[in-house]
Chains A and B, each alone.
Chain A
Amino acid sequence: MAARTAFMQGNEAILEGALHAGARFFAGYPITPSSEIAELASTRLPARGGVYLQMEDEMASMGAVIGASAAGAPAFTATSGPGFSLMQENLGLAAMAEVPCVVVNVQRSGPSTGLATRPGQADVMQARWGTHGDHPSLVFAPASAQECFDLTVEAFIWAERLRTPVIGRADVVVGHLRELVALPDPEDGRALASRPRPQGPPDDYCTYRPGPDGVPPLADFGSPYIVHLNGSMHDERGYPSADPAQAGRLIQRLVAKVQARVGEMVAVRHFRHDPPEGAPPRPAVLYVAYGSTARAAREAALMLAEKGVPARLLQLKRLWPFPDSEVEAAALEAGLTVVPEMNLGQVVLEVERVVGKRRPVWSCAKSNGEPITPDEILARTLEVVGA
């Protein structure tokens, strides 16, 4: 239940979501278009006994987030392209050492400094594969200020519950958009972000002995349960181990503990727009879109329906693990799928993997620092529908 609504920026809603979920620590390095999150964190966190640290770079920011989380504080950082690149190594440490944390990437166009602070969505694969080695990946993508709030809460919940880093992948359009956001009662947030805790005699505790859900309970630095976190391959105690069987099991568990819970996570949102009454039946067109592009795709779907073509939009709120079954079901119901995105075609590869040869899948790609407009999506659709 919403306690109140407030008019706010996407970035502000991300901060509100983090606080609602129980964040107590932020470390970052300023970069547009994410800096509002840091600025707000610098006053709001200390006001509730938390800590804001401005670190010397993003490698340090990610390191400090891991340290703070290990000491028991739900922790996050926010950045954009160049900073997200610098965070990759320690993101891998968080995944391997199983230290919960949330990393917000308010995407801008790249590569490098690119068209600094213009829109882009080209970090989708980086969010999946940016750090080296096999690793789990959990990524949410808001398309509105409200979703900035909701998905940040979701990110904290899963980061803590699964002892894993979670990435919130907004884009500059969403981060700087101002909209009404319904904010729940702060009391409702209390127990949201909570990690599994050890029970029983402290001497028996092992930092990496998994519970039935594959997630090992985590004690805080300072507790009588002594914690040995390790970014090197390790055994259940956290002691280094070079045993291939052990290593294989660990990598499998890191990925499986996330995969096993996807059914409980936010995944997609459906929109359907049908042609006016009496229009001749035609196969539907499905848009698969995410972030700010989903908003343009929704407009395009409305216009397409006006032209007599049934239009569907599957908005991806979770990018990784990719919502395979939702995409498959929606794509098979439609005659063809169009994937608009602000890059040269990244999510379209996943849609093609899921759909295979069963239906045509078309890319609607744009990578020049400008958002994709509904007209452009419509034009591309009419081209491939052959209308």
Chain B
Amino acid sequence: MKARDYLIEEAMPLFWCRGCGNGIILHALLRALARLGKSREETVVVTGIGCFGKADDYIRTHSIHGTHGRALAIATGVKAVNPGLTVLALMGDGDCATIGGNHLIHAARRNIGVTAVVANNLNYGMTGGQFSATTPQGARSSTSSFGNPESGFDLCRLAGAAGAALVARATVYHAALLESLLVEAISCPGFSLVEVMSSCPVYYGRYNGIPDPAAMMRWWQESAVPASRYAELAPEEKQGRFPIGRLGGSDRPAFSERYARVQEAAQAGAGRWIQAGTDR
């Protein structure tokens, strides 16, 4: 399979704005699937609602276009009953970290074998550029014209602390890195999260002095630092920069592996409530 084989070509052109990073993420994802030789039938794409939540419009695998914030919950149900499937949850930062933040930490804690791909454009693109839970403190948006009084989440640290098996970050400028991180994440049996810093020149860029798509690309190029190098930066050098690459994870058995033990115990009749009278 080639990347193009996963693409619904009749859905072109992409619905996303000029300069939006989502197309780059979509392409990297399809290349990763091709590299892994995933068949269309073994692959399930679950989306939330938002600009990046429309990625399923273009993907020829199984898919469900769900509800805002609940993609990970839906994906959890899919993976739980069929651990053999490759399950991807494609979400914006609002979807994944704001309205869906509770599902994110629990998916990580549960270590369900789903790969979360988060297009973090630092705001709600679909609804017109309001601030989200990843918008930096001080940044402007259509609902923070005086500067965001709240601080943004570091999504990778959040998911890592909650127990994700693999967390990684790339930007839309680093498309090759993104592709290889996606390959790693999709191959990981537990919960993996790939955060992709993505350009939204139309809203985030315009509100914050970088309305030009090329300038936004340069911004990613300059502010992203490979994780190993980032660790060595002095605190003042870290200002305005962030690490990319594989950023952590924990080596625990995935949910499905643990649940198989539960099924074995239940089948052996070890359950406290299994009574002769009711267990048919």
Query: Which A residues lie at the B interface, using CB under 8 A?
Result: 6, 8, 12, 16, 19, 24-25, 27, 39-40, 42-51, 53, 55-57, 59-73, 75, 89-90, 93, 97, 183, 186, 220-224, 226-232, 238-240
Contact = CB atoms under 8 A, between A and B. Distances in A.
A63 B42 contact: no
Given A61-B73, A66-B74, A68-B78, 8 more contacts: A56-B103, A59-B69, A62-B73, A63-B103, A64-B74, A89-B67, A227-B62, A227-B63
A226 B65 contact: no
Among all A-B residue pairs, the 9 with the closest Cβ atoms = A67-B77, A63-B73, A64-B77, A43-B271, A46-B266, A60-B73, A68-B77, A47-B266, A229-B64
Nearest to B255: A53
A61 B73 CA distance: 7
B70 interface: yes
Contact of A239 (B8, B64, B66, B69): B8
Most B C-beta atoms less than 10 A away, residue of A19, A51, A223: A51
A245 B68 CA distance: 26
B85 A71 contact: yes
A70 B62 CA distance: 10
B77 A63 contact: yes
A70 B65 CA distance: 12
Contact of A67 (B41, B57, B75, B259): B75
B81 A51 contact: yes
Interface of B: 8, 11, 40-42, 44, 46, 54, 56-57, 60-67, 69-70, 73-82, 84-85, 102-103, 106, 259, 262-263, 265-267, 269, 271-274, 277-280
14 contacts: A12-B278, A40-B278, A46-B263, A46-B265, A64-B76, A70-B78, A71-B81, A72-B81, A90-B70, A221-B78, A221-B85, A224-B41, A228-B63, A239-B11
B62 A222 contact: yes
B102 A56 contact: yes
Contacts of B11: 239
A238 to B, nearest CB: 8
A73 B277 CA distance: 26
A25 B263 CA distance: 13
Nearest to B62: A221
Most B C-beta atoms less than 10 A away, residue of A62, A221, A231: A221
Most B C-beta atoms less than 10 A away, residue of A46, A57, A93, A97: A46
Contacts of B70: 59-60, 63, 89-90
User: Interface majority SS on B: helix, strand, loop or mixed?
Assistant: mixed
Nearest to B78: A67
A50 B267 CA distance: 11
Contact of A71 (B77, B266, B269, B280): B77
B81 to A, nearest CB: 4
A46 B267 contact: yes
A53 B80 contact: yes
B78 A93 contact: no
Contacts of A72: 81-82
A42 B273 CA distance: 9
Contacts of A97: 64-65
B103 A60 contact: yes
Contact of A226 (B57, B62, B69, B277): B62
A51 B80 contact: yes
A19 B280 CA distance: 10
Nearest to B10: A239
Most A C-beta atoms less than 10 A away, residue of B46, B56, B80, B269: B80
Contacts of A240: 54, 57, 65
Nearest to B63: A228
Contacts of B64: 66-67, 70, 97, 228-231
A212 to B, nearest CB: 26
